[in-house]
Amino acid sequence: MQTLTDDAPKCLVSLCGKTLLNWQRSAITAAGLFDLTVICGYKKEQLKSRKRYAVIENAHWYKSNIVVSLLTAKHLLREQSCIVSYSDIVYHPDIIKTLINAPGDIVITADQLWKSLWQERFLNPLDDAETFTMEGNRLLDIGAKPVKLSEVQAQYMGLLKFTPAGWEKVELALMGIDDERRDQLDITGLLRIILHQHIIVNVALVAGRWCEVDQESDLSLYESIAEGHRATKLPWQHDWRW
């Protein structure tokens, strides 16, 4: 994100007049969920000073990845079903509702219309895509480098649901992973591990209405597209606003 995150965590970057975190909070509460917890690390003081959610700190954020952050909230994941969201995505409340209602103990959201968004962001959509194959509503494979578009049936979005039973399976799967590897695991790496152990991961498919912010150019792109569609009054299939 270049200089935009010099003094603030990524989730406090602004997009179309609101921070990413505020877009997420608004969508989640609009979907009927109000018990919110933010896991923080970098520039944590800016998140701890806000009173609209609980805060958990990953004290090892500077040398660990997302799975370690997730493990800091294991006491919550053991108690009740939880929706887990990356902090650098924005989405429509209906996507949260779809995930809440999707069957399964471990469920991920995936966008069937990902290619049109990736074509706006990259010269070659495959440069930033990962393999994603499924059968019915079950995930078969994720996270490898694709060679052709047919290997990407949908794009994993960074939204997941765990029931306590599903989270128990995740913790058991992680018991066989050494600390060094666990510290570097991202979520797709975790999904590959549990799929290898024949643990069922279900998929809640959606059609657009979300965006991912990976780089500063994403912000200007989305704002330009949103403004253009507002002026023409034409729908944009990845417009997350409501």
Total tally of structural domains belonging to the chain: 1
**Mean pLDDT (the chain, rounded):** 96
Residue 1: both structure tokens together = 């994100």
111, part of any domain: yes
156, part of any domain: yes
Domain extent at residue 129: 2-232
Query: Per-residue pLDDT tens for 204-225?
Result: 999 999 999 999 999 999 999 9
The CATH number of the domain holding residue 9 is: 3.90.550.10
Q: Tell me which amino acid residue 106 is.
A: I
101, part of any domain: yes
44, part of any domain: yes
Query: Which class for 86: exposed (0-12), middle (13-18), buried (19 or more C-beta within 10 A)?
Result: middle
Closest-CA residue to 126 (of 152, 100, 106, 101):
152
* pTM tops 0.85, yes or no: yes
Position 229 pLDDT exceeds 90: no
20, part of any domain: yes
